[in-house]
Every structure is written in structure tokens, then in C-alpha cells.
């Protein structure tokens, strides 16, 4: 029986892989204008990093992580033995924890230095139930800025995210930017308690999962898809009424900067996002069309305690991640045309076997001059070579028959205009 790609994973076939490459290049270009440099961290990290960084009680860590074990360690575990915590690895479910770990490990923000502004792109893994816009291996592009606390960093990252979406072609009117503040360690605990107390009063109206959430992580209940829970949570205390003066001021400044930049946003005090590490500003971009229930194309926020959580010194941070596959769905829904892989500037056809080596020679010359070129490698008839040239979308075709070889010249045919010019065989690139 043939073996297919695992459930929830997808091959990026050439057109898609080409777009993924262009998408990353665009990210590097846009983010580079804001001072962000690329970073690449391992796809596997110690499981402890995610447990400590993202939070044990989050869905991502408690249910959705793929664990990776060497064959030797797996055998040890199956035989009832123990595996050192250092050898317990997980496939990364998101990029922030790994980047912050790298910043701490390599001391990328020594005291008094400029903030580290980093961007990354790559696959992430979550064992979720696959559906439209939700895969087990998906691709994210993200940024992290460590070492700066000012609201200008929050506003600039949000503006940069919206610029990136616009530059890849997602129509501005298809997107909604939601923002909120999650408070900090001084105001959030009291708010959490207020939400918990509210949920306790409404316990008989909440689903089983939310009853557990009320004990472990009450704010997660704002994300419950159950309609009854959603109705109850509509009446829950709002974080914006519980922010301490510093958080209130920070949030006000972020909004003022966005207003001044002409960025439209909607305040959503129920926006809590799925990961534990967020403090103060959080944001999410949703697309109304083409995505169904998985309508968030990107989001992020501030995480001023995360560096300490993973063993570093107190370093404020902020980041976002956007989902590549969901951006593709949004672009398709907006009717944006995707690039086509392949394409060919010149196809060199040959009539007889004697033409094969000269054709090969012309093709190499043209490639060395920076054009794409192709020829037949399967013994096709001339007619079938022309068909292949059409299929490849060749802009020009040259045909080498005995006459052309004898004269050292050939006819270069423009496939769009049907114009023909005679060119010496050693000067083909100059005529393309
Ligand atoms: P998160 O790390 O959960 O904040 O996700 C950031 C972005 O990654 C989301 O807005 C989605 O666009 C994308 N994303 C998250 N989980 C998945 C998934 N399972 N499949 C596809 N895209 C995802």
C-alpha cells in the first residue's frame, strides 16, 4: 500500500513551495525595514522549555505537543526505565519560546544594549484535530523584540504586521485587527480572581472544560466555542476595568500611536490568546472570508516575564506569529493569483541526434547568462518537443536542424508575438 503524508500535514508542491519562499523573502524585506534580522532555531527543543515558557496548563502544551525521542530512549521508556529531562524533546509548537531561549543562551541583549529584533520562519507542530486552516504541521513567520518596554515597540510591530499582510496582497478591508491589554503581574492576578469568582457564580451554565478552566486558567474560558459559555462570558468582568495605572497608560499610548499611524483596530476585552506568557498588549488579525472558524491569520503580544521564565534575566519582550497556510486561504478567497513554479525563457529543440550536443551547449550558455532554459531529455519527436516548450511556457524557442547546424545560425522565435530573428548560435543570450 502506498504511504501518504501523515494526517494533518501537507506537501508544499512546487507552486506552493515557490510561494512559501517568496512569502519568507517578503517578510525579510518588510521586517528588515524595521530593523529585524533573521534567526533560525532548532525545530526540536527540550520539552521543559515549552512547559516553562508557554505554560503547562495551556492546550498547546498539555494536549498538542509532539514528543520526540531517540530510538534508544524510546526503548528505555518502553522497558520502564527513565529518560533524562534533557533528552525529552518536543517538536516546537510555536517559535517564541525557542527564540527567547536563544536570546538568553547567547546573551543577545546584554545590559544597556539595543533591543534584539529578530524574525524567523518555519514549520510548527501541534497535534490538533485537522480541519480547514488547522494542520498538525503548519508554517509560521514571526518576530520577537527583546529588551525594550516602550509602547512604541508594540505599535511598530502591529503596524509592521499590517504592512506585511498588505504587501503580500491581503486586502485591507478583508482584515480586522483586534487589540486588548492583558495587564501585568501586579493587576492580572486580581482580575483572574474576579473572573474566577464570576465563573463560580455561573458554574451551572458552563461546560465541563470551562469548569476546569475556572480552577486552572479562568481567562481561557473567553475562548470557549460553546455558545452557552460564550453568553456567560459576555457578562464577565473586563480586564480593561482592572488595569493598573501603568498598564492603562501603556495601553493608551499604544492606541494613540496606532491612531496617529491611521491603523484601524477594534478593542476586544475578551481577546486573551492561547498562550500563558502574554502581558499587556495582545493583538490578533482576523479575516472574515474564506477561513471558516479558523479565521485568525496572525497575532501576538507582549511577554515581559518570558525571558525570566526560561532562566534569563528580566528582559521585556514582544512578538507575533502569522500562519502561512491561513494567509494562502485568505489570498485565494480574495482572488489573488498565486505564482507558477517553473517557467522557461528559452526552449531549444533539435531535429536529429546530431543536434543534441549543440542544443545542450546553447542551453548552458543561456543559463550562464542568467536566463532559464530547457531542452528535451527523453528522445521526443520535434513535434512533441514543441508541445513541451508550450507546456513549460517558453518565451522563446530555437530549433536546431541540419541546416542551422551547418550555418551556425538559428531562428529565435518569440512565442508570444511570433516574431522571428536569425541569431548566431554563439550569441543566443544577447538576443533574448
Ligand atoms: P499562535 O501561535 O497560536 O498565536 O498562532 C499564530 C498563527 O499561526 C495563527 O494566527 C494562525 O494563523 C497560525 N496557526 C496556529 N495554529 C495553526 C494550525 N494548527 N494550523 C494552521 N495554522 C495555525
Q: Is the CB of 242 under 6 A from ligand 1?
A: no
Distance between CA atoms of residues 393 and 266, nearest Å: 46
Phi first, then psi: what are they for 377, rounded to 5°? -125, 15
How many helices and strands in the chain, by DSSP H and E? 15, 16
pLDDT tens readout for residues 215-260: 888 998 998 889 999 999 999 999 999 999 999 999 999 999 999 9
Alpha helices in 244-381 (DSSP H): 245-260, 306-309, 324-333, 356-368
Distance 229 CA to ligand 1 centre (A): 23
**pLDDT given for residue 291 in this prediction:** 78
Q: Does residue 205 register a pLDDT over 80? A: yes
Instruction: Scan for cell 491569520, then name that residue.
Output: 297
Whether residue 397 contacts residue 420, with contact meaning beta carbons closer than 8 Å, is answered with: no
Which pLDDT value is given to residue 289?
Answer: 76
Is the Cβ–Cβ distance between 23 and 327 less than 8 Å? Answer: yes
Q: Which DSSP string do the residues of 190-257 spell out, in sequence order? A: HHHHHHHHHHHHTGGGS-HHHHHHHHH-GGGGGG---HHHHHHHHTSPPGGGT--HHHHHHHHHHHHH
pLDDT in tens, 386-416: 999 999 999 999 999 999 999 999 999 999 9
Give the mean pLDDT of 33-53: 96
**Which pLDDT value is given to residue 216?**
86
Which among 66, 126, 138 is the best mutation to test ligand 1's pocket, defined by most ligand atoms within 8 Å of the CB? 138
Taking the centre of ligand 1 as the mean of its atom positions, its distance from the CA of residue 371, in whole angstroms, is 38
Q: What is the 3-state secondary structure (H, E, C) of 399-430?
A: EECHHHHHHCEEEEEECCCCCEEEEEHHHCHH
Q: 324 C-alpha vs ligand 1 centroid, how far in Å?
A: 9
Shortest CA distance to 286 belongs to which of 272, 303, 266? 266
Closest of 349, 417, 354, 352 to residue 387, by C-alpha: 349
pLDDT digits (tens, 9 = 90+) for 3-35: 999 999 999 999 999 999 999 999 999 999 999
Q: Name the residue with cell 548552458.
A: 364
C-alpha of residue 61 to centroid of ligand 1, in Å: 14
Closest CA to 323 of 53, 5, 10: 10
What's the mean pLDDT when you consider all of the chain? 94
- Please report, rounded to a whole number, the percentage of residues in the chain having pLDDT higher than 90: 84
Looking at the DSSP assignment, which residues form a beta bridge with residue 146? 116, 317
Q: Is 326 in the pocket of ligand 1 (CB under 6 A)?
A: yes
State the Cα–Cα distance between residues 379 and 320, nearest whole angstrom.
Answer: 52
Q: In this structure, how many other beta carbons lie within 10 angstroms of the beta carbon of residue 18?
A: 17
- What phi-psi label fits residue 292: left (phi over 0), alpha (psi between -120 and 50 degrees) or beta? left
Per the structure block, which three cell numbers stand in for 173?
Answer: 478591508
Banded pLDDT at 96 (limits 50, 70, 90):
very high
Going by alpha carbons, the residue nearest to atom 17 of ligand 1 is 134
Atom of ligand 1 nearest to the CA of 133: 21
Query: Residue written as cell 538576443?
Result: 431
Q: Among candidates 219, 195, 224, 198, which has minimal Cα distance to 209?
A: 224
**126, 293, 299, 323, best to mutate for ligand 1 pocket (most atoms within 8 Å of CB):** 323
59 ligand 1 Cβ < 6 A: no
Output the CA 295–ligand 1 centroid distance in Å.
Answer: 10
Of all protein residues, the one whose alpha carbon is nearest to atom 20 of ligand 1 is 134
β-partners of residue 337 are none
For residue range 131-148, list pLDDT tens digits in order: 999 999 999 999 999 999
Whether residue 275 is predicted with pLDDT greater than 80 in this model: the reply is: no
| pTM for the full predicted model | 0.92
Q: How confident is the model at residue 171 (pLDDT cuts 50, 70, 90)?
A: very high
Instruction: Give the ligand 1 atom nearest the CA of 285.
Output: 10
Ligand 1 mean position, distance from CA 294 (Å) = 9
* pLDDT score at 274: 62
Query: What pLDDT, in 10s, does the model give residues 287-326?
Result: 987 777 789 999 999 999 999 988 999 999 999 999 999 9
Q: Judge if the beta carbon of residue 58 lies within 6 A of ligand 1.
A: no
Query: What confidence score (pLDDT) does residue 112 get?
Result: 83
Hey, CA dihedral for 217, 222, 223, 228, is it positive or negative? positive
400 contacts 355 by C-beta, under 8 angstroms = yes
Q: Is the minimum distance from the CB of 134 to ligand 1 under 6 angstroms?
A: yes
Residue 29 Cα to ligand 1 midpoint, Å, equals: 22
> Does residue 41 contact residue 120 with C-beta atoms inside 8 Å?
yes
Q: Is the CB of 130 under 6 A from ligand 1?
A: no
Give the Å distance between the CA of 91 and the centre of ligand 1: 15
SS3 content of the chain, % helix, strand, coil (to 5): 45, 20, 35
Amino acid at each position: 500500500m502506498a504511504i501518504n503524508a501523515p494526517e494533518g500535514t501537507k506537501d508544499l508542491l512546487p507552486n506552493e513551495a515557490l510561494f512559501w519562499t517568496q512569502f519568507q523573502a517578503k517578510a525579510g524585506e518588510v521586517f528588515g525595514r524595521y530593523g529585524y534580522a533573521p534567526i533560525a532555531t532548532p525545530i526540536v527543543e527540550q520539552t521543559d522549555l515549552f512547559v516553562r515558557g508557554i505554560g503547562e496548563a495551556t492546550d498547546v502544551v498539555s494536549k498538542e505537543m509532539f514528543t520526540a525521542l531517540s530510538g534508544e530512549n524510546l526503548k528505555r521508556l518502553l522497558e520502564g526505565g527513565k529518560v533524562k529531562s534533557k533528552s525529552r524533546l518536543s517538536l516546537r509548537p510555536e517559535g517564541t519560546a525557542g527564540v527567547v531561549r536563544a536570546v538568553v543562551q547567547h546573551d543577545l541583549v546584554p545590559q544597556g544594549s539595543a533591543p534584539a529584533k529578530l524574525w524567523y520562519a518555519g514549520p510548527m507542530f501541534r497535534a490538533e484535530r485537522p480541519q480547514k486552516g488547522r494542520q498538525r504541521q503548519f508554517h509560521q513567520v514571526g518576530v520577537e523584540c527583546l529588551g525594550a518596554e516602550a509602547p512604541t515597540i508594540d505599535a511598530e510591530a502591529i503596524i509592521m504586521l499590517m504592512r506585511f499582510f498588505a504587501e503580500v496582497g491581503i486586502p485591507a478591508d478583508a482584515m480586522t485587527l483586534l487589540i486588548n491589554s492583558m495587564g501585568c503581574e501586579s493587576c492580572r492576578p486580581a482580575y483572574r480572581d474576579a473572573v474566577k469568582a464570576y465563573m463560580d457564580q455561573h458554574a451551572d451554565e458552563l461546560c465541563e472544560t470551562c469548569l476546569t478552566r475556572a480552577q486552572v486558567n479562568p481567562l481561557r474560558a473567553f475562548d470557549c466555542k460553546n455558545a452557552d459559555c460564550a453568553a456567560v462570558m459576555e457578562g464577565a468582568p473586563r480586564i480593561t476595568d482592572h488595569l493598573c495605572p501603568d498598564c492603562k497608560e501603556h495601553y493608551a499610548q499604544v492606541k494613540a500611536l496606532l491612531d496617529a499611524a491611521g491603523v484601524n483596530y477594534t478593542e476586544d476585552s475578551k481577546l486573551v490568546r492561547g498562550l500563558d506568557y502574554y502581558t499587556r498588549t495582545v493583538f490578533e488579525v482576523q479575516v472574515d472570508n474564506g477561513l471558516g472558524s479558523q479565521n485568525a491569520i496572525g497575532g501576538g503580544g507582549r511577554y515581559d516575564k518570558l525571558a525570566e521564565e526560561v532562566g534569563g534575566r528580566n528582559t521585556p519582550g514582544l512578538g507575533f506569529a502569522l500562519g502561512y497556510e491561513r494567509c494562502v486561504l485568505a489570498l485565494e478567497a480574495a482572488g489573488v493569483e498565486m505564482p507558477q513554479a517553473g517557467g522557461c525563457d528559452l526552449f531549444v529543440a533539435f531535429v536529429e541526434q546530431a543536434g543534441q550536443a549543440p542544443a545542450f551547449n546553447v542551453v548552458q550558455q543561456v543559463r550562464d547568462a542568467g536566463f532559464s532554459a530547457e531542452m528535451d531529455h527523453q528522445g521526443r519527436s520535434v513535434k512533441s518537443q514543441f508541445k513541451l516548450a508550450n507546456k513549460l511556457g517558453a518565451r522563446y524557442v530555437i530549433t536546431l536542424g541540419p541546416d542551422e547546424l551547418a550555418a551556425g545560425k538559428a531562428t529565435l522565435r518569440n512565442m508570444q508575438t511570433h516574431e522571428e530573428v536569425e541569431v548566431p548560435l554563439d550569441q543566443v543570450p544577447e538576443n533574448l
